[in-house]
Protein backbone atom coordinates (compact mmCIF):
# COMPACT_ATOMS: atom_id res chain seq x y z
CA UNK A 1 0.00 0.00 0.00
CA UNK A 2 1.27 3.48 -0.84
CA UNK A 3 2.07 5.94 1.90
CA UNK A 4 1.41 9.67 1.97
CA UNK A 5 1.80 11.86 -1.06
CA UNK A 6 5.02 13.80 -1.64
CA UNK A 7 4.58 17.51 -2.47
CA UNK A 8 1.13 17.52 -0.93
CA UNK A 9 -0.37 20.93 -0.20
CA UNK A 10 0.14 22.43 3.23
CA UNK A 11 -2.23 24.75 5.04
CA UNK A 12 -3.84 27.65 3.21
CA UNK A 13 -2.33 30.40 5.45
CA UNK A 14 1.12 28.91 4.90
CA UNK A 15 0.62 28.70 1.13
CA UNK A 16 -0.60 32.33 1.08
CA UNK A 17 2.33 33.52 3.21
CA UNK A 18 4.89 31.76 1.06
CA UNK A 19 3.34 33.23 -2.08
CA UNK A 20 3.90 36.71 -0.60
CA UNK A 21 7.49 35.84 0.33
CA UNK A 22 8.22 34.58 -3.17
CA UNK A 23 6.85 37.77 -4.73
CA UNK A 24 9.27 39.81 -2.61
CA UNK A 25 12.14 37.47 -3.42
CA UNK A 26 11.43 37.76 -7.16
CA UNK A 27 12.07 41.51 -7.09
CA UNK A 28 15.12 41.03 -4.88
CA UNK A 29 16.45 38.32 -7.17
CA UNK A 30 16.20 40.57 -10.23
CA UNK A 31 18.08 43.31 -8.34
CA UNK A 32 20.70 40.74 -7.31
CA UNK A 33 21.22 39.58 -10.88
CA UNK A 34 21.43 43.19 -12.08
CA UNK A 35 23.97 44.16 -9.41
CA UNK A 36 26.13 41.11 -10.17
CA UNK A 37 26.01 41.81 -13.91
CA UNK A 38 27.09 45.44 -13.39
CA UNK A 39 29.99 44.35 -11.17
CA UNK A 40 31.12 41.66 -13.63
CA UNK A 41 31.02 44.05 -16.60
CA UNK A 42 32.82 46.81 -14.66
CA UNK A 43 35.54 44.45 -13.37
CA UNK A 44 36.27 43.32 -16.95
CA UNK A 45 36.18 46.78 -18.53
CA UNK A 46 39.00 49.30 -19.11
CA UNK A 47 37.80 51.01 -15.91
CA UNK A 48 38.31 47.94 -13.72
CA UNK A 49 40.69 49.86 -11.44
CA UNK A 50 37.78 52.06 -10.37
CA UNK A 51 35.83 49.01 -9.23
CA UNK A 52 38.77 47.75 -7.19
CA UNK A 53 39.35 51.18 -5.63
CA UNK A 54 35.67 51.41 -4.66
CA UNK A 55 35.69 47.93 -3.12
CA UNK A 56 38.83 48.69 -1.11
CA UNK A 57 37.68 52.11 0.11
CA UNK A 58 37.73 52.08 3.92
CA UNK A 59 34.79 53.23 5.99
CA UNK A 60 35.85 53.07 9.61
CA UNK A 61 37.51 49.73 10.46
CA UNK A 62 36.39 47.87 7.31
CA UNK A 63 36.40 48.30 3.54
CA UNK A 64 33.12 48.79 1.69
CA UNK A 65 33.35 45.20 0.41
CA UNK A 66 33.89 43.91 3.95
CA UNK A 67 30.96 45.96 5.29
CA UNK A 68 28.77 44.36 2.59
CA UNK A 69 29.88 40.82 3.54
CA UNK A 70 30.08 41.21 7.31
CA UNK A 71 27.47 43.90 7.94
CA UNK A 72 24.71 43.86 5.35
CA UNK A 73 24.63 40.08 5.12
CA UNK A 74 23.91 40.00 8.86
CA UNK A 75 20.53 41.52 7.93
CA UNK A 76 20.02 38.76 5.35
CA UNK A 77 20.79 36.07 7.95
CA UNK A 78 18.60 37.80 10.54
CA UNK A 79 15.63 37.54 8.15
CA UNK A 80 16.60 33.93 7.37
CA UNK A 81 16.66 33.21 11.12
CA UNK A 82 13.19 34.70 11.59
CA UNK A 83 11.92 32.50 8.78
CA UNK A 84 13.63 29.42 10.18
CA UNK A 85 12.07 29.88 13.60
CA UNK A 86 8.64 30.57 12.14
CA UNK A 87 8.75 27.49 9.91
CA UNK A 88 9.85 25.05 12.61
CA UNK A 89 7.85 26.50 15.52
CA UNK A 90 4.56 27.60 13.94
CA UNK A 91 4.71 26.64 10.26
CA UNK A 92 4.04 23.46 8.36
CA UNK A 93 7.55 22.21 9.17
CA UNK A 94 6.68 21.68 12.82
CA UNK A 95 5.00 18.50 11.57
CA UNK A 96 7.86 15.96 11.25
CA UNK A 97 6.10 14.28 8.35
CA UNK A 98 6.06 17.50 6.34
CA UNK A 99 9.55 18.50 7.46
CA UNK A 100 11.15 15.19 6.44
CA UNK A 101 11.18 15.80 2.68
CA UNK A 102 12.74 19.30 2.54
CA UNK A 103 15.18 18.47 5.34
CA UNK A 104 16.42 15.26 3.69
CA UNK A 105 16.46 16.94 0.26
CA UNK A 106 18.49 19.85 1.65
CA UNK A 107 20.99 17.48 3.25
CA UNK A 108 21.35 15.52 0.00
CA UNK A 109 21.60 18.78 -1.93
CA UNK A 110 24.56 19.82 0.23
CA UNK A 111 26.35 16.49 0.69
CA UNK A 112 26.57 15.48 -2.99
CA UNK A 113 27.93 18.86 -4.27
CA UNK A 114 30.55 18.79 -1.51
CA UNK A 115 31.50 15.24 -2.54
CA UNK A 116 31.77 16.28 -6.21
CA UNK A 117 34.09 19.16 -5.27
CA UNK A 118 36.25 16.89 -3.09
CA UNK A 119 36.55 14.22 -5.81
CA UNK A 120 37.63 16.78 -8.40
CA UNK A 121 40.08 18.48 -6.02
CA UNK A 122 41.46 15.35 -4.33
CA UNK A 123 45.21 15.62 -3.86
CA UNK A 124 45.22 19.43 -4.25
CA UNK A 125 45.54 22.15 -1.58
CA UNK A 126 42.07 23.43 -2.48
CA UNK A 127 39.91 21.15 -0.32
CA UNK A 128 39.09 24.01 2.05
CA UNK A 129 36.56 25.14 -0.55
CA UNK A 130 34.44 21.97 -0.26
CA UNK A 131 31.39 23.88 1.04
CA UNK A 132 31.24 26.49 -1.74
CA UNK A 133 28.81 24.57 -4.01
CA UNK A 134 26.52 23.49 -1.15
CA UNK A 135 24.34 26.62 -0.92
CA UNK A 136 21.08 27.50 -2.71
CA UNK A 137 20.19 31.13 -3.42
CA UNK A 138 16.39 31.35 -3.18
CA UNK A 139 16.21 34.95 -4.46
CA UNK A 140 18.13 34.08 -7.62
CA UNK A 141 16.11 30.87 -8.13
CA UNK A 142 12.80 32.69 -7.74
CA UNK A 143 13.99 35.40 -10.13
CA UNK A 144 14.55 32.68 -12.73
CA UNK A 145 10.99 31.46 -12.18
CA UNK A 146 9.75 35.02 -12.67
CA UNK A 147 11.76 35.55 -15.85
CA UNK A 148 10.50 32.36 -17.51
CA UNK A 149 6.91 33.07 -16.36
CA UNK A 150 6.31 29.52 -15.21
CA UNK A 151 3.13 28.51 -13.34
CA UNK A 152 5.03 26.23 -10.96
CA UNK A 153 2.45 24.54 -8.66
CA UNK A 154 2.20 25.87 -5.10
CA UNK A 155 3.46 22.64 -3.43
CA UNK A 156 6.64 22.79 -5.52
CA UNK A 157 7.18 26.46 -4.69
CA UNK A 158 6.68 25.70 -1.01
CA UNK A 159 9.15 22.81 -1.27
CA UNK A 160 11.73 25.05 -2.98
CA UNK A 161 11.42 27.75 -0.32
CA UNK A 162 11.47 25.38 2.65
CA UNK A 163 14.44 23.52 1.15
CA UNK A 164 16.26 26.85 0.87
CA UNK A 165 15.36 27.66 4.49
CA UNK A 166 16.89 24.39 5.71
CA UNK A 167 19.81 24.98 3.35
CA UNK A 168 20.41 28.37 5.03
CA UNK A 169 20.40 26.75 8.47
CA UNK A 170 22.99 24.17 7.41
CA UNK A 171 25.09 26.84 5.68
CA UNK A 172 25.11 28.92 8.87
CA UNK A 173 26.31 25.89 10.83
CA UNK A 174 29.04 25.22 8.25
CA UNK A 175 30.25 28.84 8.39
CA UNK A 176 30.32 28.85 12.19
CA UNK A 177 32.03 25.46 12.58
CA UNK A 178 34.37 25.11 9.60
CA UNK A 179 35.25 28.69 8.64
CA UNK A 180 36.25 30.17 11.98
CA UNK A 181 40.01 30.55 11.56
CA UNK A 182 40.81 31.93 15.03
CA UNK A 183 38.55 31.86 18.06
CA UNK A 184 38.67 34.41 20.89
CA UNK A 185 36.68 33.06 23.81
CA UNK A 186 36.14 36.26 25.78
CA UNK A 187 34.15 38.13 23.07
CA UNK A 188 32.35 34.90 22.17
CA UNK A 189 31.23 34.34 25.77
CA UNK A 190 30.11 37.98 25.95
CA UNK A 191 27.79 37.32 23.00
CA UNK A 192 25.58 35.06 25.11
CA UNK A 193 24.29 37.66 27.63
CA UNK A 194 23.79 40.15 24.80
CA UNK A 195 21.63 37.67 22.90
CA UNK A 196 19.70 36.87 26.09
CA UNK A 197 19.10 40.58 26.80
CA UNK A 198 18.00 41.09 23.19
CA UNK A 199 15.40 38.34 23.58
CA UNK A 200 14.27 39.73 26.93
CA UNK A 201 13.90 43.25 25.53
CA UNK A 202 11.20 42.02 23.12
CA UNK A 203 8.97 41.06 26.03
CA UNK A 204 8.51 44.61 27.32
CA UNK A 205 7.51 47.56 25.19
CA UNK A 206 9.57 50.07 27.21
CA UNK A 207 12.80 48.12 26.72
CA UNK A 208 12.55 47.83 22.94
CA UNK A 209 14.61 50.99 22.52
CA UNK A 210 17.53 48.82 23.65
CA UNK A 211 17.14 46.45 20.69
CA UNK A 212 19.30 48.34 18.10
CA UNK A 213 22.29 48.95 20.44
CA UNK A 214 22.11 45.35 21.70
CA UNK A 215 22.06 44.06 18.11
CA UNK A 216 25.07 46.21 17.15
CA UNK A 217 26.98 45.13 20.27
CA UNK A 218 26.25 41.45 19.56
CA UNK A 219 27.43 41.87 15.96
CA UNK A 220 30.65 43.59 17.12
CA UNK A 221 31.43 40.94 19.73
CA UNK A 222 30.81 38.14 17.23
CA UNK A 223 33.12 39.88 14.76
CA UNK A 224 35.83 40.19 17.43
CA UNK A 225 35.41 36.54 18.46
CA UNK A 226 36.55 35.27 15.06
CA UNK A 227 33.20 33.70 14.19
CA UNK A 228 31.70 35.29 11.09
CA UNK A 229 29.42 38.11 12.33
CA UNK A 230 26.51 37.05 10.13
CA UNK A 231 25.97 34.22 12.63
CA UNK A 232 24.95 36.91 15.13
CA UNK A 233 21.97 37.74 12.91
CA UNK A 234 20.65 34.20 13.19
CA UNK A 235 21.14 33.97 16.96
CA UNK A 236 19.32 37.26 17.51
CA UNK A 237 16.47 36.17 15.23
CA UNK A 238 15.94 32.99 17.24
CA UNK A 239 15.10 35.08 20.33
CA UNK A 240 12.29 37.03 18.65
CA UNK A 241 8.74 35.80 19.49
CA UNK A 242 7.15 34.06 16.51
CA UNK A 243 4.21 36.46 16.10
CA UNK A 244 6.47 39.49 16.37
CA UNK A 245 8.98 37.83 14.10
CA UNK A 246 6.44 37.37 11.32
CA UNK A 247 5.68 41.11 11.31
CA UNK A 248 9.36 41.99 11.58
CA UNK A 249 10.21 39.65 8.72
CA UNK A 250 7.56 41.33 6.56
CA UNK A 251 9.14 44.75 7.18
CA UNK A 252 12.79 43.68 6.89
CA UNK A 253 12.57 41.38 3.87
CA UNK A 254 12.52 44.28 1.35
CA UNK A 255 15.66 45.68 3.04
CA UNK A 256 17.35 42.28 2.90
CA UNK A 257 16.30 41.29 -0.63
CA UNK A 258 16.31 44.78 -2.11
CA UNK A 259 19.48 46.24 -0.57
CA UNK A 260 21.66 43.91 1.53
CA UNK A 261 21.94 41.01 -0.92
CA UNK A 262 22.29 43.09 -4.15
CA UNK A 263 25.00 45.29 -2.57
CA UNK A 264 26.89 42.19 -1.41
CA UNK A 265 26.53 40.71 -4.91
CA UNK A 266 27.90 43.94 -6.41
CA UNK A 267 31.04 43.83 -4.29
CA UNK A 268 31.55 40.06 -4.57
CA UNK A 269 30.78 39.25 -8.21
CA UNK A 270 33.31 41.62 -9.77
CA UNK A 271 35.99 39.16 -10.83
CA UNK A 272 38.37 39.65 -13.76
CA UNK A 273 37.64 36.56 -15.85
CA UNK A 274 40.62 36.85 -18.18
CA UNK A 275 43.14 36.89 -15.36
CA UNK A 276 41.65 34.23 -13.12
CA UNK A 277 42.29 31.18 -15.27
CA UNK A 278 40.63 27.76 -15.09
CA UNK A 279 41.44 25.44 -12.22
CA UNK A 280 40.04 22.43 -10.42
CA UNK A 281 38.43 24.91 -8.01
CA UNK A 282 36.35 26.39 -10.84
CA UNK A 283 35.44 22.98 -12.25
CA UNK A 284 34.65 21.55 -8.81
CA UNK A 285 32.37 24.43 -7.83
CA UNK A 286 30.54 24.51 -11.18
CA UNK A 287 30.10 20.72 -11.34
CA UNK A 288 28.97 20.65 -7.72
CA UNK A 289 26.29 23.26 -8.34
CA UNK A 290 24.97 21.83 -11.61
CA UNK A 291 25.36 18.05 -11.28
CA UNK A 292 25.79 17.70 -7.52
CA UNK A 293 22.71 19.71 -6.56
CA UNK A 294 20.47 18.04 -9.16
CA UNK A 295 21.61 14.55 -8.17
CA UNK A 296 21.56 15.29 -4.44
CA UNK A 297 18.09 16.83 -4.27
CA UNK A 298 16.47 14.42 -6.72
CA UNK A 299 18.21 11.39 -5.21
CA UNK A 300 17.30 12.37 -1.64
CA UNK A 301 13.67 12.87 -2.66
CA UNK A 302 13.66 9.42 -4.27
CA UNK A 303 15.07 7.93 -1.05
CA UNK A 304 12.29 9.55 0.99
CA UNK A 305 9.75 8.12 -1.44
CA UNK A 306 11.43 4.72 -1.31
CA UNK A 307 11.70 4.33 2.45
CA UNK A 308 8.37 5.94 3.41
CA UNK A 309 6.41 4.22 0.62
CA UNK A 310 5.16 7.64 -0.35
CA UNK A 311 4.28 8.61 -3.89
CA UNK A 312 4.48 11.78 -5.90
CA UNK A 313 1.34 13.90 -6.07
CA UNK A 314 -0.78 12.70 -8.98
CA UNK A 315 -0.19 15.82 -11.12
CA UNK A 316 3.62 15.76 -10.78
CA UNK A 317 6.46 13.66 -12.20
CA UNK A 318 10.14 13.08 -11.49
CA UNK A 319 11.00 15.55 -14.26
CA UNK A 320 9.49 18.23 -12.01
CA UNK A 321 11.69 17.13 -9.11
CA UNK A 322 14.75 17.26 -11.37
CA UNK A 323 13.76 20.80 -12.39
CA UNK A 324 13.68 21.82 -8.73
CA UNK A 325 17.04 20.12 -8.21
CA UNK A 326 18.53 22.19 -11.01
CA UNK A 327 17.03 25.36 -9.52
CA UNK A 328 18.74 24.41 -6.27
CA UNK A 329 22.04 24.61 -8.17
CA UNK A 330 21.74 28.38 -8.26
CA UNK A 331 24.08 28.97 -5.33
CA UNK A 332 25.00 32.61 -5.51
CA UNK A 333 25.05 34.71 -2.32
CA UNK A 334 26.15 32.24 0.35
CA UNK A 335 28.44 30.40 -2.10
CA UNK A 336 30.32 33.63 -2.81
CA UNK A 337 30.56 34.30 0.92
CA UNK A 338 31.94 30.82 1.69
CA UNK A 339 34.44 31.21 -1.17
CA UNK A 340 35.77 34.40 0.41
CA UNK A 341 35.97 32.72 3.82
CA UNK A 342 37.70 29.64 2.39
CA UNK A 343 40.34 31.31 0.22
CA UNK A 344 40.51 34.95 1.33
CA UNK A 345 38.85 37.90 -0.38
CA UNK A 346 40.45 38.92 -3.66
CA UNK A 347 42.93 36.02 -3.90
CA UNK A 348 43.49 34.08 -7.11
CA UNK A 349 41.76 31.01 -5.66
CA UNK A 350 38.81 33.15 -4.53
CA UNK A 351 38.49 34.53 -8.07
CA UNK A 352 38.54 30.99 -9.47
CA UNK A 353 35.83 29.98 -7.01
CA UNK A 354 33.74 33.00 -8.00
CA UNK A 355 33.96 32.07 -11.67
CA UNK A 356 32.80 28.57 -10.75
CA UNK A 357 29.86 30.00 -8.78
CA UNK A 358 28.87 32.34 -11.61
CA UNK A 359 29.24 29.71 -14.33
CA UNK A 360 27.59 26.93 -12.34
CA UNK A 361 24.66 29.11 -11.27
CA UNK A 362 24.14 30.31 -14.85
CA UNK A 363 24.20 26.79 -16.33
CA UNK A 364 21.90 25.46 -13.60
CA UNK A 365 19.50 28.36 -14.18
CA UNK A 366 19.42 27.78 -17.95
CA UNK A 367 18.85 24.02 -17.63
CA UNK A 368 16.12 24.54 -15.02
CA UNK A 369 14.47 27.20 -17.19
CA UNK A 370 14.38 24.88 -20.21
CA UNK A 371 13.00 21.90 -18.29
CA UNK A 372 10.39 23.85 -16.30
CA UNK A 373 9.34 25.81 -19.38
CA UNK A 374 8.71 22.54 -21.23
CA UNK A 375 6.43 21.49 -18.37
CA UNK A 376 4.73 24.88 -18.09
CA UNK A 377 1.62 23.97 -20.09
CA UNK A 378 0.94 21.23 -17.55
CA UNK A 379 1.56 23.63 -14.66
CA UNK A 380 -0.84 26.16 -16.17
CA UNK A 381 -3.64 23.59 -16.22
CA UNK A 382 -3.06 22.91 -12.51
CA UNK A 383 -3.15 26.64 -11.72
CA UNK A 384 -6.34 27.15 -13.74
CA UNK A 385 -8.04 24.28 -11.92
CA UNK A 386 -7.17 25.78 -8.55
CA UNK A 387 -8.53 29.21 -9.52
CA UNK A 388 -11.79 27.71 -10.84
CA UNK A 389 -12.36 25.72 -7.67
CA UNK A 390 -11.84 28.64 -5.24
CA UNK A 391 -14.67 29.45 -2.81
CA UNK A 392 -16.19 32.85 -2.01
CA UNK A 393 -13.28 33.67 0.30
CA UNK A 394 -10.83 33.01 -2.49
CA UNK A 395 -9.56 29.80 -0.88
CA UNK A 396 -9.10 26.99 -3.43
CA UNK A 397 -11.06 23.83 -2.70
CA UNK A 398 -7.82 21.85 -2.47
CA UNK A 399 -7.00 23.81 0.72
CA UNK A 400 -10.41 23.60 2.37
CA UNK A 401 -9.37 20.83 4.75
CA UNK A 402 -6.23 22.73 5.73
CA UNK A 403 -7.43 26.32 5.81
CA UNK A 404 -6.46 27.00 9.43
CA UNK A 405 -3.09 28.37 10.42
CA UNK A 406 -1.14 25.65 12.24
CA UNK A 407 0.01 28.28 14.77
The verdict on residue 400 lying in a domain is no
Q: Is residue 405 part of a domain?
A: no
pLDDT of residue 355: 93
Residue 230 lies in a domain: no
User: Does residue 154 belong to any structural domain of this protein?
Assistant: yes
User: pLDDT value at position 22?
Assistant: 62
pLDDT value of position 400 = 47
Euclidean distance between CA atoms 178 and 176, whole angstroms? 6
- Provide the CATH number for the domain around residue 346: 1.20.1530.10
Our count of domains for the chain comes to 1
Question: What are the average pLDDT values for consecutive 10-residue runs of the chain, which has 407 residues?
Answer: 58 62 70 89 91 92 90 89 82 74 90 97 93 86 74 78 82 87 88 94 86 94 89 91 84 86 89 78 96 95 85 80 91 89 88 93 92 83 63 51 48
The domain in which residue 359 lies consists of: 5-167+253-384
Please check whether residue 140 lies inside any domain of the structure: yes
Answer whether residue 261 is part of any domain.
yes
In a domain, 287, yes or no: yes
Is residue 67, in this structure, part of any structural domain at all?
Answer: yes
Supply the pLDDT for residue 271: 85
Amino acid sequence: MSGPSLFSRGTWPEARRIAEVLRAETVGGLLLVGAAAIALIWANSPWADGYRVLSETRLGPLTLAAWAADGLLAIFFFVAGLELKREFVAGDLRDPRRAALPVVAAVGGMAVPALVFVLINAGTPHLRGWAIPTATDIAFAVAVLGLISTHLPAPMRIFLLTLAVVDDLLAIAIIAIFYTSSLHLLPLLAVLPCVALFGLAWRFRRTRLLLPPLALLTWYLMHESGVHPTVAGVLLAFTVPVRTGETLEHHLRPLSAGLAVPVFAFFSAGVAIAGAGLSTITVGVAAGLVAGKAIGITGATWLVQRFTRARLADELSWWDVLGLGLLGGIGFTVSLLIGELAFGTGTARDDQAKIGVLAGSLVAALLAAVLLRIRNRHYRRIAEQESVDADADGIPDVYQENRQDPA
